Chain A
Amino acid sequence: MVGIGYRKDFAADFAESNDMQPSFIEVAPENWIGVGGYWKKQFQKALEQYPLFTHGLSLSIGSPDPLDFVFLKQVKQFLRQTNAVLYSEHLSYAKCNNAHLYDLLPIPFTEAAIHHVANNIKQVQDFLEERIAIEIVSYYTPVAPELSEIDFINAILQEADCDLLLDVNNVYVNSFNHQYNAKKFIEQLPMHKVKYIHMAGHEKVADDLIIDTHGEAIIDPVYDLFAFTIQQLNRDVPVLLERDFNIPELIQLQGEINRLRDIKQQILQPASYANIY
């Protein structure tokens, strides 16, 4: 299964043409909760055709601020109403000092943060009555770290007993920005916890910095890392193509979807794949 991040920018084209045929769509509940009128109609049409995966933005699971249970209740209703397959969020914080920042800030890799974040994830899972998948985010600087990124992530996954959303592009971006080996990083992740994969493009803004823009096509080294990830997993996991800006013709996005499908198929079903050709 390869899905696409459903965006308002291409909603009309997507509804009217057959140029893009994902296996599912993904949205941020924040962008659709309490929305009616034109957008609701468009979204309903898409929901009639595709299963929905969700990827939250504002829950701010790594925030020093308390969790917003009023908002979480709306999320829960949204997940039920839309029959969402899965809810995922970011291992980061987007609210602090009682203010939303609407972007993903990096959590300090500290022992104290592990317990705080794991406790938040557990509370969210209890409240939603389902497991959630947590995404490793791209980050541009460490913040007062005590631990390595991998130890920090693994400790949270274990203590919170949640699933992992493995964004392969984020691992690539982080390995470049913080100079480590992306494959070794992936090898150290608990593969049995990977519930969902994200793939996207990025932008290199300096010799030593890549920004995770979701505004470009996926580059070859990230496809390679994806292939490596599927080999490590050795099982089928839903994969999402994220494209938020600079959106090309849908046929081009379908090209990326096809390439992701092919890579997965080649690795997971080498025998049957060989038979077809």
Chain B
Amino acid sequence: MQTYIDTQAYQSQLARFCRTGQWEPIPGVHVQHVQQYRRLVYNVIDDMLLNAYPLVYACIEQEEWNELVQLFFSEHNCQSPQVWYMPKEFYLFLHKRQHPLLQKYPQLLNVMEYEWAEIALFMMEDIAVTYTTFGDVLFSKLILNPEHCLLHLTYPVHQKKVNTIHAEDKSCFYVIGHRNREGAVLFTDLSPALVRMIEYLAMQPLSVMQLIQQLENEYAMQLTEKDKNAVLHFFEVALQKQLLLGFSVSSEKKVFE
């Protein structure tokens, strides 16, 4: 009779085979049919990653993709019980590894970051916020949509076809992604000043007037009228796009949660 240690060792061997394709004989196993497990398990991982990262896939050669998937699956221990979350582990794994393909395709990490941000925002749990739709953009305190994420990209992966991006495209791109009420994910370009103002808003509700003042104080500078109008315009549009949900509740009647 087998001890549990033996049983466990056979289970472990089978799981290793599925991940690496390297076969160590197990008693009683049908050697042809066991290949199906390797195929099925690999396909689950490959499909999930393909669905999550179509732009990464478009960026690199098929061979390179296969190598990445194989490397990830054989060497990384997937920790999430939720398969839809596994692609995040792929991104973190390649980042931590500093995989050579990240040198060959310098935009790759940004592509992954951008693609994962879209999934994460689309899937994330709802966050309840109290706000009202009655207010004035310039003077009422604005409520930022908490279902957002800020990205700092080195390559314009959100603007250009990813396989046409080259080293000379390198620059600084600030992007904010958010999820609107219909559940769609939208990305918006930001200037450094707007990033800072979004960070202020993430801390507490402030009006556009207050945001401008805080920025001017922090950087000891004065915005021109033109700049101020541009800021106001940005926040008006942000309100329409639901990057801003509305206004802080004070005495107003209509409240959404």
A39 to B124 alpha-carbon distance, docked (Å): 10
A108 to B84 alpha-carbon distance, docked (Å): 29
A125 to B104 alpha-carbon distance, docked (Å): 51
A37 with B33: CB separation less than 8 A:
no
A30 with B1: CB separation less than 8 A:
no
Write the B3-39 contact mask toward A (1 if CB under 8 angstroms, else 0).
1101110111011101100000011111001101100
A270 cross-chain contacts in B, Cβ below 8 A: none
B41 with A34: CB separation less than 8 A:
no
Segment among A96-104, A219-227, A250-258 that sits at the interface with chain B: A96-104
Q: Does B218 contact A (CB under 8 A)?
A: no
B127 cross-chain contacts in A, Cβ below 8 A: 36
A211 to B8 alpha-carbon distance, docked (Å): 25
A31 to B85 alpha-carbon distance, docked (Å): 10
A142 with B77: CB separation less than 8 A:
no
Contact of B86 among A68, A100, A103, A105 (CB under 8 A): A100
A105 with B15: CB separation less than 8 A:
yes
A31 to B19 alpha-carbon distance, docked (Å): 23
A209 to B40 alpha-carbon distance, docked (Å): 14
B44 cross-chain contacts in A, Cβ below 8 A: 101-103
Q: Does A143 contact B (CB under 8 A)?
A: yes
A116 with B27: CB separation less than 8 A:
no
Q: Which residue of A lies closest to B27 (CB)?
A: A144
- Contacts known (A110-B2, A146-B1, A177-B33); A103 close to B41, Cβ less than 8 A: yes
Separation in Å of the A95 CB from the closest CB of chain B?
8
A96 cross-chain contacts in B, Cβ below 8 A: 11-12, 14-15
A38 to B126 alpha-carbon distance, docked (Å): 10
B10 cross-chain contacts in A, Cβ below 8 A: 108, 143-144
A98 to B147 alpha-carbon distance, docked (Å): 32
Q: Does B100 contact A (CB under 8 A)?
A: no
Q: Does A58 contact B (CB under 8 A)?
A: yes
Write the B113-143 contact mask toward A (1 if CB under 8 angstroms, else 0).
0000000011111110000000000000000
B7 with A144: CB separation less than 8 A:
yes
Q: Does A40 contact B (CB under 8 A)?
A: yes
Q: Does B82 contact A (CB under 8 A)?
A: yes
B78 with A100: CB separation less than 8 A:
yes
Q: Does A273 contact B (CB under 8 A)?
A: no
Q: How big is the B interface, by class?
A: 35 or more
Q: Does B179 contact A (CB under 8 A)?
A: yes
A99 to B73 alpha-carbon distance, docked (Å): 9
Contact of A142 among B29, B81, B121 (CB under 8 A): B29
Most A-side CB within 10 Å, residue of B41, B81, B83, B124? B81
Contact of A140 among B36, B122, B183 (CB under 8 A): B36
B83 cross-chain contacts in A, Cβ below 8 A: 30-31, 57-58, 100, 102
B125 with A108: CB separation less than 8 A:
no
Q: Does B168 contact A (CB under 8 A)?
A: no
Q: Which residue of B lies closest to A178 (CB)?
A: B30
- Contacts known (A102-B44, A102-B83, A141-B33); A36 close to B125, Cβ less than 8 A: yes
Contact of B82 among A33, A41, A142 (CB under 8 A): A33
Contact of B81 among A38, A68, A103, A141 (CB under 8 A): A68
B14 cross-chain contacts in A, Cβ below 8 A: 96, 105-106, 143
A106 to B34 alpha-carbon distance, docked (Å): 10
Q: Does B80 contact A (CB under 8 A)?
A: yes
Q: Does A10 contact B (CB under 8 A)?
A: no
Q: Does B250 contact A (CB under 8 A)?
A: no
Write the A135-159 contact mask toward B (1 if CB under 8 angstroms, else 0).
0000011111110000000000000
Contact of B33 among A110, A115, A209 (CB under 8 A): A209
Separation in Å of the B79 CB from the closest CB of chain A?
7
Q: Does B69 contact A (CB under 8 A)?
A: no
B15 with A36: CB separation less than 8 A:
no
A68 cross-chain contacts in B, Cβ below 8 A: 81
* 17 pairs, A vs B, C-beta closer than 8 Å: A40-B125, A41-B183, A57-B83, A62-B11, A95-B81, A100-B78, A100-B81, A101-B19, A101-B78, A102-B45, A102-B78, A103-B40, A110-B1, A112-B4, A141-B28, A141-B33, A143-B29
* Among all A-B residue pairs, the 9 with the closest Cβ atoms: A38-B183, A96-B15, A99-B77, A58-B81, A36-B126, A112-B4, A141-B30, A64-B8, A37-B183
Interface residues of B (CB under 8 A from A): 1-4, 6-8, 10-12, 14-16, 18-19, 26-30, 33-34, 36-37, 40-41, 44-45, 48, 76-84, 86, 121-127, 147, 179, 182-184
Inter-chain pairs besides A37-B126, A93-B15, 19 sampled, C-beta below 8 Å: A33-B82, A36-B126, A37-B122, A37-B124, A38-B122, A62-B11, A95-B81, A96-B14, A100-B78, A101-B44, A102-B78, A103-B37, A110-B6, A116-B4, A142-B29, A142-B30, A143-B10, A144-B29, A209-B36
